[in-house]
Amino acid sequence: MLSRVGVDTLDALYDEVPASIRFRGDYQLPEEMSELEVRQLFEQLGSQNKPLTCFAGAGVYDHYTPSVIPQLLSRSEFLTSYTPYQAEISQGTLHYIFEYQSMMAELTGMDISNASMYDGTTATAEAVMMAVAAGKKQNKVLVSETVDPKTLEVVKTYAHFQGIDIEMIPAKDGVTDLSALNTQLSTLSGVAGVLIQQPNYYGIVEDYEGFAEAIHAKKGLFIMNSVAADLAVLKTPGEWGADIAVGDGQSLGIPLQFGGPYVGYMCCTEKLIRKMPGRIVGKTLDNRGQRAFVLTLQAREQHIRRQKATSNICSNQSLMALFVTIYMSLMGKQGLKEAAELSYAGAHYLCEKLVATGHFTQVYDQPFFNEFVVRYDGDVEALQRRFVENGIFGGVKVAPDQLMFAVTEKRTKEEIDQLISLTL
Amino acid sequence: MNNKLYGNLIFELSQEGRRGYSLPKNRFGKNYEIPTGMRRKADAQLPECDEMTVVRHYTNLSANNFGVDNGFYPLGSCTMKYNPKINEEVAALPQFAGLHPLQPAATVKGAEAVCTLLCRSLCELTGLHAFTLKPFAGAHGELTGLMVIKKYHESRNDDARHLVIVPDSAHGTNPASAAVCGLEIIEVKSLSDGTVDVDALRDLVAQHGPEIAAMMMTNPNTLGLFERQIPTIEKMVHECGGLMYYDGANLNPMLGAARPGDMGFDVMHINLHKTFSTPHGGGGPGAGPVGVREGLEQFFPVVSPYHGNFAVAMRAYAYILSLGREHVKEVGPLATLNANYIKESLKDLYELPIDGLCKHEFVFDGLKDKSTGVTTMDVAKRLLDYGYHAPTIYFPLLFHESLMIEPTENESKETIDGFIAVMRQIAEEAKTNPDLVKSAPHHTPIGRVDDVLAAKHPVVTYKQLQNDTN
């Protein structure tokens, strides 16, 4: 091979690299490991972790993963392919993305969906940028105080560099204050959009009656961030009159895996389709007259539009989109509802039992879904430690005296009763 | 592959009342009913299928796909190397997969250690000081890196710096990321040898010096050519107060050869799904860690809540350990050898606009004999018939018929010789039977698709498809 290339040594392949920057040393890395040693090392590192029975949420929920999914996801034809540029040998990917888009549009009650985003926080930041781009000269976005602070932080990062003004809408009793929003809408100029969350950060199912009308009257876009799985039963962003629905799809059975990979979703109304970032798969025909699927509306994207693109996003989170597509196919219309109802029931059972101990009170007198905040009359940190010692991740601390608990269909009555017994 | 029997959408396989799931019963002794006012009016119209139907549907869909495990995938700039299977098992270990990202620090020590060890390895391999794992993908990494640069200038109240110099051969994400970061692009031309025109750069720097925030470069560039003037370039940019950004999309050939930190770059991202062998997954999840020179780590922005795509980072670290210090340094030279061998074996039949040594990839400008009317698109489609993935086509934009080939270090001489033989066969077919090539592919589940129809009448959901008359 070297002789055909016309060099004598591998080293000579780099003759044009100036000597001053040529790397000649040894990397300070471990010596090569056999497969067995790699496995042993990770098992040893894994033994320093302690997976816990999860009663925490705050955006990441411990739902059950049906066995079918990891089996199908490990198929090499899915796993080791790349972006489906060559439609003729990528119908597998294109086909499931079309199904994914269809399911997400159904779940959110919106017209259309893109092929997925990185995660819920970046999808939300992209939605904020999209609202500003659609709003022409408007560059202010109002964000409810009940939005997850982690989402808010990412939105603020993007907004800072885009020169977007973020103003907070105050909350009252744990829910977005509509009258405050109305005042803001009538006094502030340049409002391109409004971002709210459902269920909100505290697990509360807010009443967004009147929001769409108020926002649309000022020509702003209504952005709703939701936990995907909850939309199987909750009134949808579409029903609330949202223009853009975004959030994380992790709740559709994706393992916790220390924060990622998850999958962001973004859905919107039909008229916003050309403003939407990310990949979109559409139906077409091939030259044999067969139905086929293909990446479409690419004129919005970076590889064509470069600096004028709707976003710099390139890849989506394809394999995780496949994950949730298979999840929704298996669970179907009925199973998703049942899982949501079980989560709702478990959370309300836990809340009742906690309050009954006399040590906890609900912080907000509001309807909640599968997550809620309680005030504890003892030492919160000591209680959390006791939970961990007993193998339980007992909620996320949201204030010095407040814990936020989440329950999914995975939590049994016995596990909940054990948690209660640790509080007594 | 079977498009006829298994071309249905999962929605078209749905039968009312079928179930593909099993859930525990409500054992809370009481029915906690979700209030009607909270509920959606109508159910989401999701499919209702039994488990076997779902499994067959997706198994057969997978057969209509082509991955690295199916065959040679010389997709330029995408570094489609082999994805070792041990890495999948490691990433799925329950001791990691079961961790909630907000768990107390004492319960996630092993996971934190993986992050630290990976970052340390990446520092060593790149010559930079610190890495963040937050970015989810290469483009996300670019954006994050540019944010670091902008925050650095802001911290010095150097607010006039709003320009980013990008070579005309750059990846499309470079200008797009700069725009999302609120920066503007100025392009610097390439010379006829494919590298940055240093004189043109000197003029740009002289004209815009105090406004220049950074220069973004891939090295080797998208033509697969090493920018040998890099010491001069980085000096010029640094002297005018700008920082150097390294687009790590083409890092693979530099393993064992040169480090971006030593080349004078201040900030870079790495595509773990390219250089560090994590599976591309049909277009994600990837990971785009960002590394910086000492002093810049304070400017890492919050672009995601946790450690990015953590399970992807685990795979990358497993890959580094498998290679070890002995073999990491062979990656670049072997990838470079494979690319040059293909180039030299085909340049009599395919137009090589820039002769000389390439690095991990190179670009042909279509077939040498243009008289047949056979285009790069046709060659790409004909390759599919022979069981190969196509190279990257029509990028970079410097040539009309770009055909960008990247073999990676993993491929054997036999595989590469097989590919060369087929490329030569296609060049021959272009002369003897051009229509055969122009109408390719013939042996794939579907033929060439109508892109215009898809874009003109967007049908992007099943609901729209049910009302579609085309």
pLDDT of residue B24 exceeding 50: yes
Instruction: Kindly report the number of other CB atoms within 10 A of residue A10's CB atom.
Output: 18
Residues A264-287, mean pLDDT to the nearest whole number: 95
Contact between chains at B311 and A260 (C-beta distance less than 8 A): yes
Residues A85-108, mean pLDDT to the nearest whole number: 97
Confidence of residue B356 (pLDDT cuts 50, 70, 90): very high
Q: Are residues B391 and B260 in the same domain?
A: no
- Provide the chain B residues 97-136 that lie in CB contact (below 8 A) with chain A: 97-104, 106-111, 113-114, 121, 124-125, 127, 136
Domain finish residue from B324, B358, B391: B324
Contact between chains at B147 and A161 (C-beta distance less than 8 A): yes
Q: What is the distance between the alpha carbons of residues B309 and A119, in angstroms, rounded to a whole number?
A: 10
Give the total number of structural domains in chain A: 2
- Provide the chain B residues 42-61 that lie in CB contact (below 8 A) with chain A: 43-49, 51, 54-55, 57-59, 61
Give the gap in angstroms from C-alpha A267 to the nearest C-alpha of chain B.
11
Indicate whether B467 belongs to any domain. no
Instruction: Kindly report the number of other CB atoms within 10 A of residue B451's CB atom.
Output: 15
Indicate whether B469 belongs to any domain. no
Question: Which of B33, B461, B462, B463 has the most A C-beta neighbours within 10 Å, making it the best mutation to test the interface with A?
Answer: B461
Give A201-226 pLDDT, tens digit per residue.
999 999 999 999 999 999 999 999 99
Q: What is the distance between the alpha carbons of residues B250 and B235, in angstroms, rounded to a whole number?
A: 22
User: Residue B54 sits in which domain range?
Assistant: 3-35+43-62
Q: Are residues B185 and B201 in the same domain?
A: yes
Indicate whether B79 belongs to any domain. no
Q: What pLDDT, on the 0 to 100 scale, is given for residue A295? A: 95
Provide the residue type at A191 as one letter: V
Write the residue in B139, B182, B259 that is nearest to A23 by C-beta.
B259
The residue in chain A having the minimum alpha-carbon distance to the alpha carbon of residue B185 is A307
A1 with B98: CB under 8 angstroms? no
Indicate whether A268 belongs to any domain. yes
Q: Is B235 on the interface with A (CB under 8 A)?
A: no
Confidence of residue B29 (pLDDT cuts 50, 70, 90): confident
DSSP-assigned states of every residue in A370-417: SEEEEEESS-HHHHHHHHHHTTEE--EEEETTEEEEE--TT--HHHHH
Question: Which of A60, A61, A91 has the most B C-beta neighbours within 10 Å, making it the best mutation to test the interface with B?
Answer: A91
Q: Is B29 left (phi over 0), alpha (psi -120 to 50) or beta?
A: left
> Looking at the whole model, is its pTM more than 0.90?
yes
Contacts of B147 in chain A (CB under 8 A): 157, 161
Give the gap in angstroms from C-alpha A40 to the nearest C-alpha of chain B.
10
Domain finish residue from A296, A326, A356: A326
Q: Are residues A173 and A141 in the same domain?
A: yes
Q: Is B469 on the interface with A (CB under 8 A)?
A: no
Q: Are residues B105 and B238 in the same domain?
A: yes
Q: Which residues of A24-61 are buried (b: 16+ CB within 10 A; e: fewer)?
A: eeebebeebbeeeebbebbeebbebbbbbbbbbbbbbb
Q: Are residues A265 and A117 in the same domain?
A: yes
Indicate whether A17 belongs to any domain. no
Contacts of B55 in chain A (CB under 8 A): 68, 71-72
Give the total number of structural domains in chain B: 3
Q: Are residues A291 and A364 in the same domain?
A: no
The rounded percent of chain A whose pLDDT value lies above 90 is: 94
CATH number, domain of A114, equals: 3.40.640.10
Give B140-197 pLDDT, tens digit per residue.
999 999 999 999 999 999 999 999 999 998 888 899 899 999 999 999 999 999 999 9
Q: Are residues A109 and A127 in the same domain?
A: yes
Give me the phi and psi of A166, to 5 degrees please. -105, 125
Q: Are residues B338 and B315 in the same domain?
A: no
The rounded percent of chain B whose pLDDT value lies above 70 is: 99
Give bridge partners of residue B248 from the DSSP assignment: B270
Contact between chains at B21 and A66 (C-beta distance less than 8 A): yes
Indicate whether A340 belongs to any domain. yes
Q: Are residues B222 and B306 in the same domain?
A: yes
pLDDT of residue B2 exceeding 60: no
Quote the tokens at residue A180.
């405050």
Residues B43-72, mean pLDDT to the nearest whole number: 96
Indicate whether B114 belongs to any domain. yes
Write the residue in B7, B62, B325 that is nearest to A78 by C-beta.
B62
Q: What pLDDT, on the 0 to 100 scale, is given for residue A316? A: 85
Give the gap in angstroms from C-alpha B369 to the nearest C-alpha of chain A.
23
Residues A77-105, mean pLDDT to the nearest whole number: 96
Q: Are residues B364 and B296 in the same domain?
A: no
Quote the tokens at residue A113.
């969906």
Most confident range, picked from B121-125, B444-448, B465-469: B121-125
Instruction: Read off the DSSP letter of residue A135.
Output: T
Indicate whether B406 belongs to any domain. yes
B285 with A261: CB under 8 angstroms? yes
Q: Are residues A108 and A121 in the same domain?
A: yes
Q: What is the distance between the alpha carbons of residues A233 and B173, in angstroms, rounded to a whole number?
A: 39
Domain finish residue from A285, A310, A326: A326
Write the residue in A28, A255, A286 that is nearest to B124 by C-beta.
A28
Indicate whether B15 belongs to any domain. yes
Contacts of A299 in chain B (CB under 8 A): 455
Contacts of B320 in chain A (CB under 8 A): 29
Contacts of B86 in chain A (CB under 8 A): 35, 38-39
Q: Is B274 on the interface with A (CB under 8 A)?
A: no
Q: Are residues A320 and A414 in the same domain?
A: no
Write the residue in A162, A294, A342 that is nearest to B451 by C-beta.
A294
Q: Is B69 on the interface with A (CB under 8 A)?
A: yes
DSSP, collapsed to helix, strand or coil, labels residue A224 as: strand
Q: Are residues B306 and B422 in the same domain?
A: no
Indicate whether B126 belongs to any domain. yes
Q: Is B215 on the interface with A (CB under 8 A)?
A: no
Q: Is B442 on the interface with A (CB under 8 A)?
A: no
Indicate whether A144 belongs to any domain. yes
Give B236-289 pLDDT, tens digit per residue.
999 999 999 999 999 999 999 999 999 999 999 999 999 999 999 999 999 999
Contact between chains at B449 and A285 (C-beta distance less than 8 A): yes
Write the residue in A32, A129, A336 that is nearest to B327 by C-beta.
A32
Contacts of B380 in chain A (CB under 8 A): 86
CATH number, domain of A396, equals: 3.90.1150.10
Domain finish residue from A301, A326, A351: A326
Q: What is the distance between the alpha carbons of residues B352 and A17, in angstroms, rounded to a whole number?
A: 22
Give A46-70 pLDDT, tens digit per residue.
999 999 999 999 999 999 999 999 9
* Mode of pairing for the β-strands spanning A396-399 and A402-406: antiparallel
pLDDT of residue A257 exceeding 70: yes
Give B108-122 pLDDT, tens digit per residue.
999 999 999 999 999
Give A8-37 pLDDT, tens digit per residue.
999 999 999 999 999 999 999 999 999 999
Confidence of residue B1 (pLDDT cuts 50, 70, 90): very low
Write the residue in B308, B413, B459 that is nearest to A283 by C-beta.
B459
Q: Are residues A57 and A115 in the same domain?
A: no
DSSP, collapsed to helix, strand or coil, labels residue B411 as: coil
B342 with B405: CB under 8 angstroms? yes
Q: Are residues B365 and B335 in the same domain?
A: yes
Q: Are residues A315 and A378 in the same domain?
A: no
Q: For chain A, percent helix, then strand, then coil, each to nearest 5?
A: 45, 20, 35
Output the average pLDDT for chain A.
96
Give the gap in angstroms from C-alpha A186 to the nearest C-alpha of chain B.
29
Write the residue in B88, B257, B281 that is nearest to A23 by C-beta.
B257
Q: What is the distance between the alpha carbons of residues A81 and B279, in angstroms, rounded to a whole number?
A: 8
The rounded percent of chain B whose pLDDT value lies above 90 is: 93
Indicate whether A42 belongs to any domain. no
The C-alpha angle B57, B61, B65, rounded to 5 degrees, equals 170
Contact between chains at B102 and A77 (C-beta distance less than 8 A): no
Write the residue in A75, A234, A314 that is nearest to B39 by C-beta.
A234
Q: Is B78 on the interface with A (CB under 8 A)?
A: yes
B288 with B144: CB under 8 angstroms? yes
Q: Is B463 on the interface with A (CB under 8 A)?
A: yes
pLDDT of residue B4 exceeding 60: no
Indicate whether A110 belongs to any domain. yes
* Backbone CA torsion sign across A341, A345, A346, A348: positive
Q: For chain B, percent helix, then strand, then coil, each to nearest 5?
A: 45, 10, 45
Write the residue in B47, B99, B113 that is nearest to A332 by C-beta.
B47
pLDDT of residue B209 exceeding 80: yes
Q: Are residues A240 and A385 in the same domain?
A: no
Q: What pLDDT, on the 0 to 100 scale, is given for residue B67? A: 97
Q: Are residues A301 and A180 in the same domain?
A: yes
Indicate whether B122 belongs to any domain. yes
Write the residue in B58, B80, B447 that is nearest to A286 by C-beta.
B447
Indicate whether A161 belongs to any domain. yes
Q: What pLDDT, on the 0 to 100 scale, is given for residue B318? A: 98
Q: Are residues B320 and B334 in the same domain?
A: no
Q: Which of A207, A184, A197 is nearest to A227 (CA)?
A: A197
Lowest mean pLDDT among A82-86, A285-289, A304-308, B449-453: A304-308
Q: What is the distance between the alpha carbons of residues B78 and A315, in angstroms, rounded to a whole number?
A: 12
pLDDT of residue B138 exceeding 90: yes
Q: Is B324 on the interface with A (CB under 8 A)?
A: yes
The residue in chain A having the minimum alpha-carbon distance to the alpha carbon of residue B260 is A21
A400 with A380: CB under 8 angstroms? yes
User: Residue A352 sits in which domain range?
Assistant: 53-64+332-423
Contacts of A329 in chain B (CB under 8 A): 10, 20, 46-47, 49, 54, 57-58
pLDDT of residue A308 exceeding 70: yes
ipTM of the complex: 0.97
Contacts of B111 in chain A (CB under 8 A): 45, 49, 258
Indicate whether A12 belongs to any domain. no
Q: Are residues B131 and B280 in the same domain?
A: yes
Kindly report the length of chain B: 470
pLDDT of residue B6 exceeding 70: no
Confidence of residue A298 (pLDDT cuts 50, 70, 90): confident
Quote the tokens at residue B459.
């049908």
CATH number, domain of B380, equals: 3.90.1150.10
Write the residue in A22, A51, A109 that is nearest to B99 by C-beta.
A51
Give whole-number Cα distances, A420 to A387, B304, B331, in Å: 10, 34, 55
Q: Are residues A297 and A355 in the same domain?
A: no
Q: Are residues A282 and A370 in the same domain?
A: no
Output the average pLDDT for chain B.
96
Q: Are residues B378 and B247 in the same domain?
A: no
CATH number, domain of B105, equals: 3.40.640.10
Domain finish residue from B324, B340, B363: B324
Domain finish residue from B324, B350, B374: B324
Q: Are residues B307 and B445 in the same domain?
A: no
Helix intervals (H) in A243-317:
302-305
